[in-house]
Amino acid sequence: MSSLPDLICPAGSLPALKAAIDNGADAVYLGFKNDTNARNFAGLNFDTKAMTEGIRYAHAREREVLLAINTFPQPGRVADWQRAVDAGVDLGADAIILADVGLLDYAVRRHPRQRLHLSVQGSATSYEAINFCQREFGIRRAVLPRVLTLAQVGLVIENTSVEIEVFGFGSLCVMNEGRCWLSSYACGESPNTVGACSPAKYVKWDKQPGTMETRLNGILIDRFADDEPAGYPTLCKGRFEVAGDTYYALEEPTSLNVLPILPDIVRIGVRAIKVEGRQRSPAYVAQVTRTLRAALDSLAGGPAGFHVKPAWEADLAKVSEGRQATLGAYNRPWR
């Protein structure tokens, strides 16, 4: 049995950071309150004062802080992203998570001692891509996109010395991890640079007799009966008419939950398990962190006695999309 992977939890605010640390996260990931951060939502993220306090809080409890500078620099503004890298180093971030190869090159040349991670936004799905980033930029860890089977994750791990981090709970993405072409087409803006695949300014709930319609920039995403909860209009999770049938053509509103395959994830040597949700509440962070911490700790003595407790499933179901869970790409029967 490999050593337990680190539990990496989201921090969209200082209260969320403290909730993660207090409930057993080994590290948190966060971003600046600007567009160097792919979750650049109003009311979320960290200015210098809050980040200083967050890093102090985590380090005092021997936990790590990972800074996500995971958007792509815009033309004429590369210096803004470079300054964010410099600021993260100065503030004492344990690692900086980057997607752009130009920023990776800047970071390794300017701050050769700083630990660098390859963001999921970098879309590295092969060990060749990961080994390239290790050779050229010295990355220590890569976050894999949520499109690989468990066997494919294992193949990557077998062929690289870079630490591998995978998603373990939260929303799924069937596109290029924050660079959704569907959303870009519908809204005219990249989710990577505006912080969401369904920006709130384009969202509309339209109540009709007997139904509730949800639209994104005028496009009908779903139609709910009065007795159905009307979900947020995310393009890939809408119901569409295809060949005369109406159903979730791309993806159902459901959350990734790896509890059933946790021993396998540990066995193949995954170094870190990441929880999605920097846009979610501190209560969400506390619940998911506490549950996954308990599940991981139960594996410390080996997989023989591991079983998924109903209480864990119930606690995670409370914060899952549609109160449903899936193994996503990790388990593809057609393979």
Q: What tens digit of pLDDT does each residue of 70-102 get?
A: 999 999 999 999 999 999 999 999 999 999 999
Domain span including residue 190: 181-247
pLDDT digits (tens, 9 = 90+) for 164-205: 999 999 887 766 666 677 888 888 877 767 667 777 888 888
Q: How confident is the model at residue 2 (pLDDT cuts 50, 70, 90)?
A: low
How crowded is residue 273: how many other Cβ atoms within 10 Å of its Cβ? Answer: 24
Which residue is associated with the tokens 């809080």? 57
Residues 140-148: what's their mean pLDDT? 93
Q: Does the annotation place 9 within a ligand binding site?
A: no
Q: Are residues 27 and 127 in the same domain?
A: yes
Split at pLDDT 50, 70, 90, the class of 247 is confident
Q: d(Cα 73, Cα 77) in Å, to the nearest integer?
A: 6
> Is residue 236 marked as binding?
yes
- Please indicate if the annotation marks 187 as binding a ligand: no
List the one residue out of 205, 201, 115, 110 whose CA is nearest residue 162.
Answer: 115
pTM listed for this prediction:
0.88
pLDDT digits (tens, 9 = 90+) for 27-36: 999 999 999 9
Are 124 and 23 part of one and the same domain? yes
Residues 42 and 89 in one domain: yes
Which of 202, 228, 247 marks a domain boundary? 247
Identify whether residues 130 and 185 lie together within a single domain: no
* 9 strand-pairing partners: 28
**Do residues 175 and 181 touch, judged by C-beta distance below 8 A?**
yes
- Residues of 87-108 as b/e, b for ≥16 C-beta within 10 angstroms? bbbebebbbbbbbbeebbebbb
Specify if 126 maps to a domain.
yes
Q: What is the pLDDT of residue 178?
A: 62
Q: How many domains would you assign to the chain?
A: 2
**Could you tell me if 188 and 142 lie in one domain?**
no
Look at residues 247, 262, 283 and tell me which one is the last residue of a structural domain. Answer: 247
Running DSSP on this structure, what letter comes out for residue 54? H
Within this chain, do residues 193 and 166 fall inside the same structural domain, yes or no? no
Same domain, yes or no, for 186 and 319? no
Tell whether residue 197 is among the known ligand binding residues: yes
